Chain A
């Protein structure tokens, strides 16, 4: 099935650093969703975006819906140990209500 291009695949950062990851697609989406997954758990919704150009924050997290509707990014400021996990993007078009998923970005914080 179709997938989004999510990058980077993994990130090794120091505590306190800012983090940036993005997703791109060849298709136009009406919705972008960003999730975080801890080991052995289901993904938890972080931020939902519904309009091109929309910039939304959730605490230290900020995500934007690209103006072309084909991309989105997620930034995490001043990372802390509990930010460790896998972050997924997902895009949805109105035509079929199915979500298309990125392969995930694994965030690892160096001790």
Chain B
């Protein structure tokens, strides 16, 4: 089945630790996105990538880093510089075939130990 796979579903981070969230898609979409969602809040854009080997900062990029070495993969690293990392992280990819539609993975809940 085609879709977006995020892993792990739950992740715990210790103080000062970097952690990486995985996002893989087999939908052949060029554009991929990372969003952060806090309880009771909407979605805030962290980083996005329109094409392989290219990415741009979103609204809240500080403390995060990404790479886009392959079309299918867009991992997000939450660095130790991110002082409040506890949140639900959502990866998405954009279908531009005709009319644009954004499809989401099932999310990763990151918590600080």
Contacts and interface: CB of A to CB of B under 8 A. Distances in A.
Interface in B53-77: 58-59
Contact of A97 (B31, B40, B59): B31
Which of B40, B43, B59, B92 has the most chain A CB atoms inside 10 A of its CB?
Answer: B43
Interface string A17-49: 000000000000001010100001111110010
Interface residues of A, number: 25
B69 to A, nearest CB: 21
**Chief secondary structure at chain B's binding surface:** strand
Contacts of B1: none
B110 to A, nearest CB: 13
B101 A33 contact: yes
A99 B99 contact: no
B106 A1 contact: no
A53 to B, nearest CB: 16
B112 interface: no
B62 to A, nearest CB: 13
23 contacts: A1-B44, A1-B45, A1-B58, A6-B42, A31-B100, A33-B102, A35-B104, A40-B109, A41-B107, A42-B4, A42-B104, A42-B107, A88-B43, A90-B102, A92-B100, A97-B94, A98-B45, A98-B48, A99-B45, A101-B43, A101-B44, A103-B41, A104-B41
Given A31-B100, A45-B101, 11 more contacts: A1-B44, A1-B59, A40-B109, A42-B4, A42-B92, A43-B90, A48-B99, A50-B99, A88-B42, A97-B50, A101-B42
